[in-house]
Amino acid sequence: MDELKKKNARNGSIAYSVDSKIKSNEDEVKATVLHKDVGLISGISLIVGTMIGSGIFISPKAVLEGTGAVGPCLCVWAACGLLATLGALCYAELGTMITKSGGEYPYLMEGFGPVLAYLYSWTTIFVLKPSSFAIIALSCAEYASTPFYPGCSPPEIISKCLATAAVFLIVIVNCLSVKLASYVQNFFTAAKLLIIIVIIVSGIVMLAQGNTQNLRDPFTGGETSFGAIGLAFYNGLWAYDGWNQLNFITEELKNPYRNLPLAIIIGIPLVSVCYVLVNVAYFSVMTPTELLQSPAVAVTFGDRVLYPLAWVVPLFVVFSTFGAANGSCFTAGRLTYVAGREGHMVKILSYISLKHYTPSPALIFNGILSIFYIIPADINTLINYFSFAQWVFYGLTALALIVMRFTRKELKRPVKVPIVIPALVVLVSCYLVLAPIIDKPEIEYLYCTVFILGGLIFYYPFVYRKFSWTRRFMKPITMHLQLLMEVVPPQKVE
């Protein structure tokens, strides 16, 4: 009898320990959220590192084509920096007023409701973010492989395989640790700033030696057409795109009320100054005609000024594009995660890794889509036609800021910009959306609009009505993916 009591007691203690373990695991699941691991330096690096990709090194000629002369070209670069700063100031108010990750998504949700927020997430998650990630990875791969094929372009299959490998590596880094991804971003941002400083200092030396012929009478021959100037602004602002990246990770930012506006105030003017000075450096050794004819401006500059160390430039372009791709992946995963958390994407995309506290399902999903975009022959056309959609959402977000000044007066606003700033951003956005369509109307813009509005076909059954058969279908899939990736639902954010 005594032995039986001891056995029962032992079994009871085992059961109790198992129950305790389950409870502790449940507590751990409830506490699983994205941690605040991103400081001010990492925030600045994310903004600067994502804005400065390959454009300023490879093809700054698009602005020169629209302006026709050195003086107006430099003025447009400076004005684009100012406009990007004004847009980012609007986002600083929104980000400190609504401290949720996901970029424009939570602001459109609060300002206009779930339908517009869903259409934004639908367009950005399935087209804008992964295709942009793919283009940056392809640029990185092309520059990494070019030295191995002197005198000719590298085979397409090589570039695509390297781009796929870069996407795979970046996704793994971002899945493993937020801090590791931040360290990678900081390193590659420092690398691209280093080569920019080298180019700027080299340009100053060339100017000091008397190479100022291209900067004399800088406004002679300038373009006066309203449409051409507008196109120059369009291309310049595309080079500045990325100023809103920090708003995608607000929930992971340490002290967002201080660090978000501070990172914006430091990061965007820094990029603006770099862009203007780099262009001045280019004109110190190249005429406008030579710059327009150069396939890769920074490489041409390096061949003329930095020889025999000209190989440094393409190497640092690889660093620059890799860093921009890392930043793109980092922020895209957060938008997908937040959309899944709000029920606008499948729930598994909102789950968080138990081991690493990263939104690994969202990051993997974005990486898979990016690889699919690498496969086609040319996705630049896709980006060109969908870029107008990006400015639609920028304008709507600035309009949401104006609307919430009247409809959500109770919200605290640690940063409050003059209402004329979001009004100006709305006007600029309207122009940038309508200008390319009016200047050169093409059926592809209609296709893009149909795709964006086509998201409503999925919104009605899966989000609005939430049909029971969809939940029954997704439940076993979600369970198996959860076990495979060791992920759990996040703690609910109030």
For residue 235, what are the domain limits? 36-488
> Does residue 29 lie in a domain region?
no
Distance CA 464, CA 146 (A): 50
**Of 441, 322, 343, residue with least CA distance to 385:** 441
Distance CA 229, CA 236 (A): 10
Distance CA 363, CA 329 (A): 7
Q: Which residue has the higher pLDDT, 6 or 321?
A: 321
| Measured torsion, CA atoms of residues 23, 25, 28, 32, in degrees rounded to the nearest 10 | -130
CATH number at residue 99: 1.20.1740.10
> Does residue 178 lie in a domain region?
yes
Instruction: Check residue 26 and give its pLDDT.
Output: 40
Distance CA 397, CA 81 (A): 19
Instruction: Check residue 3 and give its pLDDT.
Output: 46
Distance CA 177, CA 33 (A): 13
Distance CA 378, CA 21 (A): 53
pTM, entire model: 0.84
Instruction: Over range 453-480, report the average pLDDT.
Output: 84
Whether 135 shows a pLDDT value over 70: the answer reads: yes
Whether 458 shows a pLDDT value over 60: the answer reads: yes
Lowest mean pLDDT among 186-195, 269-278, 344-353, 375-384: 375-384
Instruction: Check residue 377 and give its pLDDT.
Output: 58
82-105 pLDDT, tens digit each: 999 999 999 999 999 998 989 899
Instruction: Check residue 162 and give its pLDDT.
Output: 93
Q: Which residue has the higher pLDDT, 78 or 8?
A: 78
Cis peptide upstream of residue 308 (ω within 30 degrees of 0) = yes
Lowest mean pLDDT among 250-254, 293-297, 371-375: 293-297
Percent of the chain with pLDDT over 90: 37
Instruction: Check residue 55 and give its pLDDT.
Output: 75
Token readout for 459 is: 């919104």
**Of 257, 294, 297, residue with least CA distance to 279:** 297
Helix, strand, or coil (residue 487): strand
Distance CA 96, CA 255 (A): 10
> Does residue 14 lie in a domain region?
no
> Does residue 15 lie in a domain region?
no
Whether 220 shows a pLDDT value over 90: the answer reads: no
DSSP state letter for 488: E
Q: Which residue has the higher pLDDT, 193 or 233?
A: 193
Lowest mean pLDDT among 134-138, 211-215, 227-231, 398-402: 227-231
Q: Which residue in this structure is represented by tokens 């899945």?
A: 175
pLDDT band at 21 (very low <50, low <70, confident <90, very high): very low
Per the structure, the count of domains in the chain is: 1
DSSP state letter for 379: -
102-125 pLDDT, tens digit each: 989 999 999 999 999 999 999 999
Lowest mean pLDDT among 190-199, 216-225, 400-409: 216-225
Whether 405 shows a pLDDT value over 50: the answer reads: yes
Q: Which residue has the higher pLDDT, 31 or 398?
A: 398
> Does residue 329 lie in a domain region?
yes
Q: Which residue in this structure is represented by tokens 């609009």?
A: 449
Instruction: Check residue 378 and give its pLDDT.
Output: 64
CB 323 within 8 Å of CB 136: no
Count CB neighbours of 360 within 10 A: 24
CB 279 within 8 Å of CB 239: no
Whether 380 shows a pLDDT value over 80: the answer reads: no
> Does residue 26 lie in a domain region?
no
**Of 421, 373, 381, 336, residue with least CA distance to 94:** 421
38 bridge partner residues? 253
Helix, strand, or coil (residue 253): strand
Mean pLDDT of the chain: 84
Burial class (CB in 10 A: 0-12, 13-18, 19+), 412: exposed
> Does residue 223 lie in a domain region?
yes
Instruction: Check residue 223 and give its pLDDT.
Output: 67
Whether 255 shows a pLDDT value over 50: the answer reads: yes
Say which residues have a Cβ less than 8 Å from residue 342's Cβ, sequence separation at least 6.
Answer: 105, 109, 114, 117
> Does residue 437 lie in a domain region?
yes
Q: Which residue in this structure is represented by tokens 């070019």?
A: 146
